[in-house]
Amino acid sequence: MAAEKALGRIPRNVSDQRGIGYDIESKDPKTGDLYFVEVKGRAGGDDRPTIPRTEVLCALNEPERFRLAIVVVQSDQAKLPVYVRRFDSGQPGFAQTSSTFSLAVLLAQGGPPC
């Protein structure tokens, strides 16, 4: 939420709304555009984040406005989020319920909040 506010957007936590494909809906007050931010926290040796089908579909449907925000936690301290845009989520198969990705590749592809 703080990263979105720092970008000048107005974030709204929608994580309690299951099945929409993102955790934060963030509005740019200048343009009225909505951005969809899915947050994944990673701690310890968890290096294979799983992204549910609804999140993959949101990323495919809104590639310019979907952000995958990865927050790495080390020693009980959250680092700044890394935003991944336009990542290759692939097309989910008919019965596929989630996709698993390499954390190192996602972090390398990401950058500061945008």
Residue 114 is assigned to a structural domain of this protein: no
Residue 43 is assigned to a structural domain of this protein: yes
CA distance 98 to 1: 25
**DSSP 3-state assignment of 27?**
strand
pLDDT confidence of residue 9: 98
Residue 27 is assigned to a structural domain of this protein: yes
Instruction: Find how far residue 65's CA is from the centre of its chain.
Output: 10
Domain count, the chain: 1
Query: Which CATH number fits the domain that encloses residue 69?
Result: 3.40.1350
Residue 29 is assigned to a structural domain of this protein: yes
Residue 31 is assigned to a structural domain of this protein: yes
pTM: 0.90
Q: Are strands 34-43 and 98-100 parallel, antiparallel or unpaired?
A: unpaired
The residue behind tokens 């190192």 is 104
Residue 18 is assigned to a structural domain of this protein: yes
The parent domain of residue 75 ranges over 2-109
User: What would the pLDDT profile of 42-91 be if each residue is shown by its tens digit?
Assistant: 887 778 888 889 998 899 899 999 999 999 998 888 899 999 998 777 77
Give the residue-averaged pLDDT of 18-39: 96
Residue 78 is assigned to a structural domain of this protein: yes
Contacts of 98 (CB under 8 A, 6+ apart): 50, 51, 52, 53, 56
- The pLDDT confidence band at residue 32, using thresholds 50, 70 and 90, is very high
In order, the DSSP letters of 48-100 are --EEEHHHHHHHHH-TTTEEEEEEEEETTEEPPPEEE-S----PPPTT--EEE
